[in-house]
Amino acid sequence: MPGLSDPQIILALDVDTLQEAEGFVDKLYPKIKIFKVGSRLFTAYGPQIVERLHKKCAEVFLDLKYFDIPNTVAGAVAAAVRLKVKMLTLHILGGQEMLKAAVESATRQAEILKNPRPLLIGVTVLTSQKTKPEEVLALAKQGLACGLDGVVCSAKEALFLRRKIKNNFIIVTPGIRPDNSGKDDQQRTATVSQAIKAGSDFLVIGRPILKAPDPLLQTEELLGDLYGAGN
């Protein structure tokens, strides 16, 4: 299946304080190399959290799901490029003009800074919502046609997209849970093995690690599932 040759786990830093976030990075890096910063942390600390993670040599997935008029999103994406994040998200429902403006802005800013352009990942339908695979497919095709590098979708839709879209693109899958874990507020969850077999490249995991009695042990178990998924 197209995608990355080496799938990775991303830890969602859905915590309240900078100290908590840094504590998890200290415990889990470099077993986990990419950490997701969403609206919760970024609203509280802004670019400071990204800079702190970079100082610890970690990579950042900036998950702010940009959705606004094209000029506003283009400016936000340019700012994210200056922060040297590895990945960022945009809502595909923002439309073609917004998506194309974001791609153009990211490419131009990366060229100015002579830095790699972040991976631009389109949000299809949130995994807390129910949807039909055909709806996700239509959104994914629209986003990729506008120049995005990949999409966010559940493992269920990942398999469907891999079968329907033949060109190379990245799939980021949230809602990853261990076999013995509950769904929390996610409607469309999957285990590590299920997501990898479906064709996901990046697996976003939050509460199963954050709330574990031993986050490091839980991470090692999930990485064991990841490395064994292809066997």
Annotated catalytic residue: which of 31, 36, 55, 65? 65
**Is 183 an annotated catalytic residue?**
no
User: 58: part of which helix (H) or strand (E)?
Assistant: none
The full DSSP string for 59-106 is EEEEEEEE-S-HHHHHHHHHHHHHTT-SEEEEEGGG-HHHHHHHHHHH
State the Cα–Cα distance between residues 79 and 105, nearest whole angstrom. 10
Token code pair at residue 164: 């329907």
Instruction: Provide CB contacts within 8 A for 43, sequence distance 6+.
Output: none
- Active site positions, annotated: 65
